[in-house]
Amino acid sequence: MSKLTDLEIKESIIEAASKLFAQYGYNKTTMEDIAKAVHKGKSTLYYYYKSKEDVILDIFNKEAISISQKIESSIKNNVSAYERFYTYFQVISTEGQKVANLYNMCRLELKENYIIQSKFKEIYDDKHICMLREILTYGVQRREFLSISLEEVDSVAMLIDKIVLNLVILELIEKQNTDWQKSLLMLGNLLNRGLR
């Protein structure tokens, strides 16, 4: 029997922790529970993750990377910037549901945890601002997005990211929007028209 790699061990920890968080919630799940679920000692678990917070943030990071990869693969065949921009919003609205489900399982517990909320936003921002910047730059260079210049791309990318993130976060944390996916697609259409 071959020995598991560090990556495989981390994957098993993330998978087990996701199930435990869904079943018992974030606060009630302990590092010991996670270690038992992966048939490892607590010391092994602490070798890979210093805290339960690190585990959940790695889960969010894994989902953010997965969404980014799906966006990249979905937009690569789109020739127009308009299609790329709209596809970005489509993928965010469908794949974002996975993050929504993950966050909802711990929503009430994480609502009070501003450190995790802040780090969740950083994870999301890192992945998506860069992607938005690329789509906007592509649109400006192709003269499809006439309402902004190359100098404004960074600011517009950050602004769009903040709007999208706040829409998603309001739904995930506050449950203020009953149909956030529809709202997200509507926002994408409005922004796309405004950029043209």
Tell me the per-residue pLDDT of 117-143, one tens digit each, with 9 for 90 and over: 778 778 777 778 888 999 999 999 999
CB hemisphere CA count around 169 (13 angstroms): 18
Name the DSSP letter for residue 171. I
Same fold: 6-48 with 52-195: no
On the question of pLDDT at 192 being above 90, the answer is no
Cα–Cα distance measured from residue 75 to residue 21, given in angstroms and rounded to the nearest whole number: 33
The full set of domain ranges for the chain reads 6-48, 52-195
Q: Is 0.85 surpassed by the pTM of this model?
A: no
Superfamily per CATH, domain 6-48: Homeodomain-like (1.10.10.60)
- Label residue 169 by pLDDT band (50, 70, 90): low
Type and span of the H or E element at 116: helix 114-141
**Under a CB-based contact definition with an 8 Å cutoff, are residues 16 and 38 in contact?**
yes
CATH architecture of the domain with range 52-195: Orthogonal Bundle (1.10)
What pLDDT does 171 receive?
Answer: 64
pLDDT in tens, 57-81: 898 888 888 888 888 898 888 889 9
Cα–Cα distance measured from residue 107 to residue 88, given in angstroms and rounded to the nearest whole number: 25
pLDDT in tens, 13-58: 999 998 998 888 888 899 999 999 999 999 999 999 999 999 998 9
**Under a CB-based contact definition with an 8 Å cutoff, are residues 102 and 26 in contact?**
no
- The per-residue pLDDT of the chain, averaged, comes to 84
pLDDT in tens, 5-22: 889 999 999 999 989 988
